[in-house]
Amino acid sequence: DAMVIQNPRYQVTQFGKPVTLSCSQTLNHNVMYWYQQKSSQAPKLLFHYYDKDFNNEADTPDNFQSRRPNTSFCFLDIRSPGLGDAAMYLCATSRDKGGLYEQYFGPGTRLTVT
């Protein structure tokens, strides 16, 4: 089945220690998104790639960066995680289908910062 895969599902990192979260997709979608979701809140878009073009949301902290080496993979790098960065991180993909960019979500990576 075509899908969005996130690894690892659970990640523990130390305060200030860089961490990378991974997302891959077999849907061949040209758009990939990263969301941050804190407990009992809605997902918040951090950035997205439209093909190779990176689009940062205005309020995304500089501490968060992303790489997309090819169509299938996208990485979220947190350079110096703080306690406030503990959250679920969701990857999603989409493509233009008759004018609709329906988003498909991965299972998420839950990040704990100690």
Helices within the chain (DSSP H only) = none
Query: Of 77 and 96, which CB lies nearer to other proteins in the complex structure?
Result: 96
Host H or E run for residue 29: none
Count the helix, strand and coil residues of the chain and give each as a percent rounded to the nearest 5.
5, 55, 45
CB of 105 to other proteins, least distance (A): 4
CB of 40 to other proteins, least distance (A): 7
Footprint of other proteins on this chain (CB under 8 A)?
Answer: 4, 6, 9, 31, 40-43, 45, 48, 50, 88, 90, 92, 96, 99-108, 110
CB of 15 to other proteins, least distance (A): 23
Q: Which of 83, 63, 67 is nearest to 18 (CA)?
A: 63
Query: Of 18 and 59, which CB lies nearer to other proteins in the complex structure?
Result: 59
Cβ atoms 113, 10 nearer than 8 A: no
